[in-house]
Amino acid sequence: MFEILSNKRVGPKIYHLVLSYEQLPQNPEPGQFFNIKVAKKSSSDPLLRRPFSLFDFDEADKKIEFVYRVVGRGTEILSESKTGEKLDVLGPLGNPFSLKDRKGLVHLIGGGMGIAPLYYLSKKLRNSIQKVFLGAGTYEELEFFSKKFKGLDLDVHLAAMEEKLEIKGSALVLWLNYLQQETPNFVYSCGPEKMLAAVEKECLKNNIGGELSVEKRMGCGIGVCLSCSCQSKNEENKNKRACVEGPVFGMGEVVIGE
């Protein structure tokens, strides 16, 4: 069982959930996710667990953190959960971002709640020079993330549909501007599928390696129901499950945004 240490609102409909745990099957890695049972103890509605990316992990204090947006019934129930309540959480699940020997200039591009999995990744990418590109509808949606990334002393760039930021537009538009000036050694991205498809296209065109985390709708989260299938680009007629072979895929590995 996991206990809620805090579950605070940090933006419009955005919550920061901090849980303590007694034991995990293994330490989670950046890009992995946890499947949380959001239904209250006495209820089985909603039946399905909800997947959330690991935002941060602290082994010494035995804490895992998430940032989520309230979009429907499950996240609404979760947002009403209070400090001290217990949660049924399954994980870590899925294929993480690769970190091995990642050196040189690395670009991280996050759109909306797709920013969440990039923070713990950033903390683990110690041997790289990182540039972070974050986008959302408004600055209020970015504020919490921006402070966290800046707290790591990183070069952070922000975009929203507001005049007051570096660019009025998406994280993609912001990143494309920088891509004209410099070529990163590697790109990590998570966000809306259209954004991921455009990031992938640019990376493949410019021969830049990278990885994308896709947020498919999930049923079981453990590879059984096949509701999260993604079509493989390389192996004909072979599908890959976002919950097992993903959610992190290499550039050009699966069909994205169609």
Ligand X SMILES: Cc1cc2nc3c(=O)[nH]c(=O)nc-3n(C[C@H](O)[C@H](O)[C@H](O)COP(=O)(O)OP(=O)(O)OC[C@H]3O[C@@H](n4cnc5c(N)ncnc54)[C@H](O)[C@@H]3O)c2cc1C
List residues near ligand X by CB under 6 A: 33, 46, 50-53, 66-69, 71-75, 113, 116, 215-218, 247
Residues with Cβ < 8 Å from 83, sequence gap 6 or more? Answer: 4, 5, 6, 7
Distance CA 76, CA 225 (A): 25
Under rule CB under 6 A, residue 220 binds ligand FES: yes
- Residue 243 CB, nearest distance to ligand FES (Å)? 3
> At how many degrees (to 10) do helices 171-179 and 193-205 cross?
10
Distance CA 110, CA 18 (A): 21
8 Å CB contact between 135 and 174: yes
- Residue 209 CB, nearest distance to ligand X (Å)? 22
The only residue of 227, 231, 232, 239 in contact with ligand FES, by rule CB under 6 A: 227
Distance CA 24, CA 201 (A): 37
Under rule CB under 6 A, residue 240 binds ligand FES: no
Distance CA 136, CA 249 (A): 23
- Residue 145 CB, nearest distance to ligand FES (Å)? 26
Under rule CB under 6 A, residue 226 binds ligand FES: yes
Is 246 in a helix, a strand, or coil?
coil
If contact means CB under 5 to 8 A according to the sort of partner, which of ligand X, ligand FES, none does residue 209 touch?
A: none
- Residue 195 CB, nearest distance to ligand X (Å)? 13
Residue number of the CB atom closest to ligand X: 72
The only residue of 46, 209, 223, 250 in contact with ligand FES, by rule CB under 6 A: 223
Under rule CB under 6 A, residue 243 binds ligand FES: yes
Distance CA 173, CA 65 (A): 29
Applying CB under 6 A, the residues found at the interface with ligand FES are 218-221, 223-228, 241, 243
